[in-house]
Amino acid sequence: MSVVSPGAAVAGPVGSCAADAKLVPSCGVMWGGAAGGFTSKPRDVEHKSWEKLSGRTATIFHTYHKGDEPFPTKSEIAMTADAGRPRVLLLNWKIAYGSSWAKVARGEQDRRIDAFAQRIKAYGKKTFLVLNHEPENDVKAKKGSGWEAKDFAAMYRHTIQRLRGKGASNVVNVMAYMGNEKWMAQSWWKDLYPGDDVVDWIGLDSYVSVERNYYHYGTFADLLDRKPKGGGLGFYDWATGKHRGKPIMVAEWGAYHRIGRTADKSAVYDSVVPELKRRPAIKAIVHFDTKRDNQGDRDISIDSTPASLAAFKRLAANPIFDVKLS
């Protein structure tokens, strides 16, 4: 495990920040993106377009898979073969698709795990892997459902331990939460965590609204500090306090307004770097970009207004994100 001190610097001499064996930057913050999630265009095409729009190569290329889908795909591999634009994959895998967490934990999807292990070993490069991001939303808190929080933790442990046993040493895993007030307050929320020995990074998928008085209105700090309903630690404080030393990845983030209710996103984008400097455990951020979310009513794009795009380009240009892949 790469230890991240709460007082660790987030900036260093220009050109000095580099990722280690667990892809943790020695200084700075790794920059990433996921684009085109709800369009028919290929992810790699959308990612390159987003990079051009934002003005920076997104070092982390985030894609999504489920079940027996064969990945990394040819296009994903090609995205990490461009020496002029170095990138690392962040692969999200819903491994229990068509099955259940409990069944995976019992070994009933070992052939699926072993097939992935063979592919990722052949690929060879360091790769981030998220197993079933945002599991809180999928929990069925009923004994025997196969989808209890403890089943998720068991599935996660089994999968990571089997991948390690198969020699897939290039996999760097990320436990990615929603960090939502409703779920954090559930009695079973604590049972999701599979153990420090099988978690390399702690991830958070979280968004803020730029519509005043609308759901989750706020700035970058607000998406990091959401607390359980009824009180308790905010997500960042929970992660750094309960799992000290684990690097944190904001594995999905963005600012949204409802379709047809355009509002400026500049305040959110302008708030990012100051928060990163205050919170040195955050070692990577990955923006999720879409003109329309999966509910069809939220715009999370960086260019919904000219001022928003200008602010995002300023953010992307900040040298804090000048991190080299080893």
Q: Is the pLDDT of residue 10 over 70?
A: no
User: Does 123 map to a domain?
Assistant: yes
DSSP-derived letter for residue 252 is E
Contact 262, 229 (CB under 8 A): no
Q: How far apart are CA 175 and CA 195, in angstroms?
A: 10
CATH number at residue 286: 3.20.20.80
The model's pLDDT over 59-80, given as tens digits with 9 standing for 90+, comes to 999 999 999 999 999 999 999 9
Q: For residue 4, how many C-alpha atoms fall within 13 Å in the half-sphere facing its CB?
A: 32
What confidence score (pLDDT) does residue 15 get? 66
pLDDT digits (tens, 9 = 90+) for 193-217: 999 999 999 999 999 999 999 999 9
Torsion of the alpha carbons at 4, 7, 11 and 12, rounded to the nearest 10: -80
Among 82, 99, 101, 93, smallest CA distance to 120 is for: 93
Count Cβ atoms below 10 Å from residue 225 Cβ, excluding itself.
18
Q: At residue 196, what is the residue type? A: D
Please report whether residue 18 resides in a domain. Answer: no
Range 5-10 average pLDDT: 47
What's the rounded Cα separation, in Å, for the pair 135 and 141? 12
Helix (H, G, I), strand (E, B) or coil at 93: strand
Indicate yes or no: pTM above 0.85. yes
Asked if residue 14 belongs to a domain, the reply is: no
Residues 268, 226 contacting (CB under 8 angstroms): no
Check if the beta carbon of residue 255 is closer than 8 Å to that of residue 208.
yes
- What confidence tier does 11 reach under pLDDT thresholds 50, 70, 90? low
SS3 272: helix
* Secondary structure class of 177 (helix, strand, coil): strand
Q: What total of structural domains would you count in the chain?
A: 1
Supply the pLDDT for residue 41.
84
151 within a domain of the structure (yes/no): yes
Spatial separation of the C-alpha atoms in residues 288 and 301, rounded to whole Å: 8
Q: Could you read off the pLDDT of 222-281 as tens digits, one per residue?
A: 999 999 999 999 999 999 999 999 999 999 999 999 999 999 999 999 999 999 999 999
Contact 152, 132 (CB under 8 A): yes
290 is a domain residue: yes
Question: What is the overall mean pLDDT for the chain?
Answer: 94
Angle between the N-to-C axes of helices 43-54 and 306-316, in degrees from 0 to 180, rounded to the nearest 10 = 90
Q: Has residue 10 been placed in a domain? A: no
Confidence of residue 1 (pLDDT cuts 50, 70, 90): very low
In a domain, 257, yes or no: yes
Residue 81 lies in a domain: yes
Domain that holds residue 270: 30-321
Q: How far apart are CA 324 and CA 138, in angstroms?
A: 35
Q: How many CB atoms lie within 10 A of CB 230?
A: 8
